[in-house]
Structure 1
Amino acid sequence: MSARGTLEELLERHGTTYAGEAGIRLRDTPRPLYQLLVLSHLLSARIRAEIAVASARALFSHGLRTPRRMADATWQERVDALGEGGYRRFDERTSTQLGEEALLLLDAHGGDLRRLRREAQDDTDMLGAGLRRFPGIGPAGADIFLREVQSVWPETAPHLDAKALQGAERLGLPTEPDELLRLAKGEDPAVLAAALVRGALDSG
Structure 2
Amino acid sequence: MPRNKSSDISARIQTVINEYGHGPLGKTPMAGREPVPWPLKASPEVILAMVLDAMIKSRPISHDLSQRTINHLIEVGYHDIDKLHASTWEERTVVLREGGYNRYREQAATNLGNLADFVVKEYDGDLNNLLEAAGGKRDKIEILMKEIKGIGDLTVELFFNNVQAVWPSIAPFVDSRSLKTAGDVGIGSDIEAIYVALQRDPEQMSWFANGLSTIRLEKRQQDIY
Same fold (TM over 0.5): yes
Matching residue within 19, 27, 32 for 1:13: 19
Larger Rg: 2
Where do 5+ consecutive residues of structure 2 fail to align?
1-6, 31-35
1:124 alignment partner in structure 2: 138
1:43 alignment partner in structure 2: 57
Distance, in Å, in 1 between the alignment partners of 2:48 and 2:169 is 19
* Equivalent runs, 1:20-169 vs 2, <5 Å: 20-24=26-30, 25=36, 26-169=40-183
Give TM-score, length-normalised by structure 2: 0.83
Greater per-residue helix proportion = 1
> 1:63–1:178: structure 2 CA closer, same or farther, 3 Å change rule?
closer
SS in 2 for 1:2: helix
**Between Structure 1 and Structure 2, how many residues are aligned?**
204
Distance, in Å, in 1 between the alignment partners of 2:84 and 2:170 is 27
Where do 5+ consecutive residues of structure 1 fail to align?
none
Distance, in Å, in 2 between the alignment partners of 1:8 and 1:121 is 32
Indicate the percent of aligned positions where both proteins have the same amino acid: 23
- The one-letter code of the counterpart of 2:205 is P
SS in 2 for 1:3: helix
- The one-letter code of the counterpart of 1:105 is V
Shift of 1:116: 0.4
- The one-letter code of the counterpart of 1:200 is R
Distance, in Å, in 2 between the alignment partners of 1:51 and 1:184 is 31
- For the aligned residue pairs, the C-alpha RMSD in angstroms reads 2.0
Deviations 1:118-137 (A, max 9, x none): 11012110001111111211
Distance, in Å, in 1 between the alignment partners of 2:138 and 2:118 is 20
2:211 alignment partner in structure 1: 195
Give TM-score, length-normalised by structure 1: 0.91
